[in-house]
């Protein structure tokens, strides 16, 4: 049992460390995405105006919080995976599609519980003066849980098919990339809800926020920040899947 516990900590730390480094490197993408989701401004305008006013450092102002958030995110995934696989093996379900769904939901619960506070801090730092009041955990928890669960579904499905089809590292990485894009697009609206709800003076559920966004714009406005989101999730999905292949 001590060996299993040590393996849990080692794998969780590996997941967390690699995601943290990745997050810090790509944190400017997160800044641009947050501002795009909140204001609807074009990417070029966001980059030019913020660089002119604040210089390059503004794109990294949420970098530490984003790295911390991603470390906890992937660390929680490692913990969730250990607990789920230990349980699922008891029922010989560890390599079934049912296991994929159970593991995704578990990962969503673990991640949201452990990371929601740091995510609020990260969004607040990136939004800056666009915050109308202090952000709260309850304002983004629902949206974060839905988004996180669906995200982990992408990584776990990719890993499932890699194992079932005995794919090579390159083939597995490519499949993870495709899954990352598909699931990134699927979760853009709820990710936008988290951005809008954090620090807003009106409290909204996921459904009511999306209705409000639609009433103020059009269908495409729900997908503001989609380009940055697709790039981010694709990168993290590949990193997570490759890490899965290494530690498993």
Task: Kindly report the length of the chain.
Answer: 248
| Residue 138 near residue 205, CB atoms below 8 Å | no
| Residue 195 near residue 37, CB atoms below 8 Å | yes
Q: What is the pLDDT of residue 26?
A: 94
| 97-127 and 27-39 helices, crossing angle to 10° | 80
Q: What is the mean pLDDT of residues 134-139?
A: 94
| Residue 240 near residue 14, CB atoms below 8 Å | no
C-alpha separations of 116 from 17, 33, 42, 163 in Å: 18, 18, 28, 32
- The number of folded domains in the chain is 1
Q: Maximum distance among all alpha carbons in the chain?
A: 59
Radius of gyration of the chain (CA): 18
- pTM of the predicted protein model: 0.83
pLDDT per residue as tens digits for the range 195-229: 999 999 988 999 999 999 888 877 888 999 999 98
Q: What distance in Å separates the CA atoms of residue 230 and residue 214, rounded to the nearest whole number?
A: 21
CB neighbours (10 Å) of residue 214?
Answer: 13
Task: Of 187, 208, 212, 200, give the one whose Cα is nearest residue 108.
Answer: 187
Instruction: Assess whether pLDDT exceeds 80 at residue 242.
Output: no
Alpha-helix residue ranges (DSSP H) falling in 40-168: 43-54, 63-90, 97-127, 137-165
- The percent of residues in the chain predicted with pLDDT above 90, rounded, is 47
Residue-number span of the structural domain to which 95 is assigned: 2-247
The two three-digit tokens of residue 11, written as one number: 């794998």
| Residue 122 near residue 69, CB atoms below 8 Å | yes
pLDDT per residue as tens digits for the range 17-36: 888 999 999 999 999 999 99
**DSSP per residue over 42-75, as a string?**
-HHHHHHHHHHHH-GGGGGTTHHHHHHHHHHHHH
Write the CATH number for 228: 1.50.40.10
Q: What is the pLDDT of residue 237?
A: 72
């Amino acid at each position: 049992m001590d060996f299993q516990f040590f393996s849990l900590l080692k794998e969780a730390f590996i997941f967390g460390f690699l995601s943290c480094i990745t997050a810090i490197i790509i944190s400017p993408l997160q800044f641009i995405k947050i501002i795009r989701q909140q204001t609807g401004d074009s990417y070029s305008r966001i980059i030019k105006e913020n660089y002119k006013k604040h210089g390059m450092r503004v794109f990294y102002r949420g970098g530490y919080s984003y790295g911390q958030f991603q470390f906890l995110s992937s660390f929680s995934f490692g913990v969730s995976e250990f607990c789920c696989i230990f349980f699922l093996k008891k029922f010989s379900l560890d390599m079934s599609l049912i296991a994929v769904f159970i593991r995704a939901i578990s990962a969503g619960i673990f991640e949201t519980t452990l990371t929601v506070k740091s995510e609020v801090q990260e969004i607040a730092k990136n939004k800056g003066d666009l915050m109308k009041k202090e952000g709260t955990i309850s304002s983004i928890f629902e949206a974060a849980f839905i988004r996180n669960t669906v995200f982990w579904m992408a990584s776990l499905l990719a890993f499932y098919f890699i194992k079932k089809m005995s794919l090579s590292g390159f083939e597995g990485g490519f499949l993870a990339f495709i899954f990352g894009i598909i699931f990134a697009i699927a979760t853009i609206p709820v990710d936008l809800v988290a951005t809008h709800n954090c620090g807003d003076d009106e409290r909204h559920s996921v459904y009511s926020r999306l209705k409000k966004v639609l009433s103020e714009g059009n269908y495409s406005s729900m997908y503001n920040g989609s380009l940055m989101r697709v790039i981010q999730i694709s990168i993290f999905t590949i990193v997570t899947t490759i890490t899965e292949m290494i530690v498993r």
